[in-house]
Chain A
Amino acid sequence: EAGVVQSPRYKIIEKKQPVAFWCNPISGHNTLYWYLQNLGQGPELLIRYENEEAVDDSQLPKDRFSAERLKGVDSTLKIQPAELGDSAVYLCASSLERGLAGLVEQFFGPGTRLTVL
């Protein structure tokens, strides 16, 4: 069974440019998560989807970040415009159903490492 797929794996852009990350969750997983992992830190949740609905986006900086999951399967996270401080790893995870996050394991993708110059 394929795991969570993310692309690109690495991205280098100049500040003020837009950037987008793509995530394809494990087949059948209706819950999808985007996390931000700064260097030397643990992941922090940005947004969680239940199917196509964003049920928790309280930590998403909405002035420059946006996300979508139009058909309830794959998802795109966008930053426009990117700032130097956005350099980090962006992780995607999926799980079978929301419930308690611990009762259903979250499976993580390898992440996209973004460098903003």
Chain B
Amino acid sequence: AQSVTQPDIHITVSEGASLELRCNYSYGATPYLFWYVQSPGQGLQLLLKYFSGDTLVQGIKGFEAEFKRSQSSFNLRKPSVHWSDAAEYFCAFCDQTGANNLFFGTGTRLTVIP
């Protein structure tokens, strides 16, 4: 079945440290992949997306993600985390059928400690 998996439910990092959030996908073809962030009381905001081409994707707020077909992964990274990055992060994919709907992972909660 088509899906995305986020293995880490909760991650804690120190402010200024690097961050990597994992996302694995299961899809027959090359999927369209996304990372969203959800801050408390806020709606989901798109950080970045991958359709094809360059496997390293740059997003907003200093985030990037790398698509690795061999590992079926699309991990999100940031070289230096800020306290304001504390939020819930969702990996999602878009199916390529006529419906073209978004399917989300279960999310990873990021805590940033001073």
Contact = CB atoms under 8 A, between A and B. Distances in A.
Place the interface of chain B in its size category: 20 to 34
B96 interface: yes
Interface stretch (A12-20, A63-71, A99-107): A99-107
Nearest to B92: A42
Interface stretch (B13-21, B36-44, B62-70): B36-44
A42 B99 contact: no
A41 B43 contact: no
A98 B44 contact: no
Interface in B83-101: 90, 92, 94, 96, 99-101
Contacts of B94: 100-102
A100 B44 contact: no
A40 to B, nearest CB: 7
Interface residues on A, range: 20 to 34
Interface string A1-16: 0011000000000000
B51 interface: yes
Contact of A42 (B32, B45, B51, B106): B106
B43 A108 contact: yes
A91 interface: yes
B58 to A, nearest CB: 16
Contact of A102 (B42, B51, B106): B51
Contacts of A93: 43-44
Interface of A: 3-4, 40-45, 48, 56, 91, 93, 98-103, 105-111
